[in-house]
Amino acid sequence: MPDKRIGLTEAISSIESGMTIGIGGWGSRRKPMAAVRELLRSDVTDLTVVAFGGPDVGLLVAAGKVRKLIYGFVSLDSIALDPLFTAARERGELEISEYDEGMFVTGLRAAASRLSFLPTLAGLGSDVMAANPHLKTIASPYSDDEYVAVPATPLDVALIHVNRSDSGGNAQFLGPDPYFDDLFAMAATRTFVTTERIVETEDLLDEGSFHTLMLSRMYVTGVIETPNGAHFTTCEPDYGRDEAFQKHYAASAKDPESWRAFVHEFLSGDEAGYHEAVARFHAVQEKK
Amino acid sequence: MTADATIAEICIAACSDTYRESGELMAHAVGTIPTIGARLAKLTHNPDLVLSDGEAFMMSEPPPLGKSAAGGGIIEGWAPFRRVFDIVATGRRQSMMGASQIDRYGNQNISLIGDWNKPKRQLIGVRGAPGNTANHRVDYWVSRHSARLFVESVDMVSGVGNDRARAAGPSMRFHHLGVIVTNLAVLGYDDDGRVTVLSIHPGVDPQEVVDNTGFALDVEGAPLTRVPTAEELRLIREVLDPRGGRTREVQN
């Protein structure tokens, strides 16, 4: 089995401006935040980002990394809206494709199957069609039906975060929901997996049944050990969402001055510096 | 004694009634009152209803209100988000969604206010509303019935209304808008697909419904919404919502 361990900086530096990047997770759940923070540190720009969006989308949009966003929704879950995303939308500066959640998955499935489109009922009659003028319908050759032909969403790179992986990239989801991370990987040319912990292959079944081995190394380019790498989103069962910090993020994001302070405090150093700053944040919170 | 039922409790019973004809399918409820309504249906007239914890599990006994399966209950199945979309496509599901705007044909908007290219307010996005309305019955829950919500035309059609469904042709044959439960009334749709009044809650002045709806609505002769039975009130107050979460959506 190949050894695919790679440094976070090395992995992210292989991403070029203009690429289409799929980001796994869902809302504010098991997002590859360490990889997103590394993208923020890079000089990459002009990205097309494909995601069930959460703070990953907010941060990348606010940092000016995103030319186009393809999404099913953008939410922080316990906080309905991401202020950085909504502000960018309300300034009218973001090119977007807003899809129904199921349509969004259909586009990934088409790409993973190397099809140019897949048909679905979702979207018919709705303004998703008007808002996305590139969308076409297709007549069934077998009935009077007409379906939405959801175009494939092929990805240059997928970034996902998992609970465990071996050094070859066999990745394991231990939480209640795998989301669509395996599908992102299958729709992508290259996939980088950040993981809470790299374990020996023979230890992969120590913490979960074989059903949890949903992503094979066949689809994985590089593996990066990033403990707490989904912070501040959930990474069940390893840890839940850091709600206090997410609140601080959302509150800071609402005002340019407090946002500059947030960026200075948390996003101006390396990954170790980020986690130290988060620890300081909690130490101050506890004293209050 | 049922005369002292609150508006919140009347709304819960109306939400429960949306499952009377459903049989064995998955209840999807957004909001506290619809969630209690689905649970009430399961404990009374529709024991076959499949409940979820709002996250990844189907629950034969639901977790405490507002909690996921990690907080308790009995898991009977696994339905991570990818399975939910599969279930939507089979039609074995019924949704009660919220709304930021609804028009006279039941077109619903949760995506944004204003212009698509530069919205005045970006909201949550269309989420699953187009797929839900194309595939199975959808009802709406409106905790504050107002003319800002019930509008002549919505800014973006997220959930498909009756006129749009009809125009879209035979592929929309699974489209089925049920009712709209609000804090003032229960609304339905006439043969032309237009929003009508099915009943007005006891104690609500019919003129209040007219004044708070942004399109014409005939309230003449509308019956009173049914009041929960004594058993339903006991279940709501003692079993399903002893901490009164329902009053956070509808005060009285």
Closest CA to A73 of B223, B199, B81: B81
By the 8 A CB rule, do A88 and A63 touch? no
Helix (H, G, I), strand (E, B) or coil at B143: coil
pLDDT of residue A287: 87
Q: CA nearest A83 in B: which residue?
A: B122
Say how many residues make up chain B: 252
Name the pTM for this structure: 0.96
* Contact at CB, B81 and A90, closer than 8 angstroms: no
Pick from B68, B164, B170: CB nearest A144: B170
Backbone phi, then psi, for A168, in 5-degree steps?
-90, -10
Pick from B56, B124, B160: CB nearest A75: B124
Q: Is the dihedral of CA A118, A121, A123, A126 positive or negative?
A: positive
* Contact at CB, B172 and A74, closer than 8 angstroms: no
By the 8 A CB rule, do A28 and A73 touch? no
Confidence class of residue A288 from pLDDT cuts 50, 70 and 90?
confident
Backbone phi, then psi, for A70, in 5-degree steps?
-115, 120
Q: What is the largest CA-CA distance in chain A?
A: 68
pLDDT of residue B3: 60
Backbone phi, then psi, for B197, in 5-degree steps?
-95, 125
pLDDT digits (tens, 9 = 90+) for A116-167: 999 999 999 999 999 999 999 999 999 999 999 999 999 999 999 999 999 9
Please give, rounded to a whole number of angstroms, the shortest distance from the CA of A209 to a CA of chain B: 15
Q: Which two tokens stand for residue A89?
A: 């939308």
Helix (H, G, I), strand (E, B) or coil at B176: strand
Please write down the long-range contacts of A13-17, taking CB distance under 8 Å and 24 or more positions apart.
A13/A42, A14/A157, A14/A190, A15/A39, A15/A42, A15/A44, A15/A156, A15/A157, A16/A44, A17/A44, A17/A45, A17/A46, A17/A47
Q: pLDDT exceeding 90 applies to what percent of chain A? A: 99
Looking at the DSSP bridge assignments, the partners of residue A197 are: A164
> Which residues in B lie closer than 8 A to residue A121 (C-beta atoms)?
89, 131, 134-135, 171-172, 174
Backbone phi, then psi, for B215, in 5-degree steps?
-135, 165
Q: CA nearest A240 in B: which residue?
A: B70
Pick from B80, B135, B167: CB nearest A178: B80
User: Which residue is it, tokens 């009130």?
Assistant: B233
* Contact at CB, A90 and B118, closer than 8 angstroms: yes
Q: Is the dihedral of CA B47, A179, A57, B156 positive or negative?
A: negative
Average pLDDT over residues A188-204: 98
Closest CA to A4 of A194, A208, A227: A194
User: Is the peptide bond prior to B242 cis by the omega test (within 30 degrees of 0)?
Assistant: no
Neighbour count for residue A174 (Cβ, 10 Å): 16
Report residues of chain B scoring pLDDT below 70: 1-3
Q: What is the mean pLDDT of chain A?
A: 97
* Contact at CB, A92 and B88, closer than 8 angstroms: no
Looking at the DSSP bridge assignments, the partners of residue A157 are: A21, A190
Q: Which of A75, A93, A106, A121 has the most B C-beta neighbours within 10 Å, making it the best mutation to test the interface with B?
A: A121
Gap between the Cα atoms of A107 and A152, Å rounded: 4
Q: Supply the ipTM of this predicted assembly.
A: 0.95
Query: Which residues make Cβ contacts (< 8 Å) with residue B154, sequence separation at least 6?
Result: B101, B102, B103, B107, B108, B109
Amino acid at the residue A177: D
Three-class SS of A166-230: CCCCCEECCCCCCCCHHHHHHCEEEEEEEEEEECCHHHCCCCCCHHHCCECHHHCCEEEECCCCC
Structure-derived torsion over alpha carbons of residues A93, A96, A98, A99, reported in degrees to the nearest 10:
180
* Contact at CB, A121 and B158, closer than 8 angstroms: no
pLDDT of residue B89: 98
Closest CA to A108 of A71, A162, A59: A71
Say how many residues make up chain A: 288
pLDDT digits (tens, 9 = 90+) for A52-107: 999 999 999 999 999 999 999 999 999 999 999 999 999 998 999 999 999 999 99
pLDDT of residue B251: 85
Please give, rounded to a whole number of angstroms, the shortest distance from the CA of B230 to a CA of chain A: 35
Gap between the Cα atoms of A196 and A208, Å rounded: 15
pLDDT of residue B165: 98
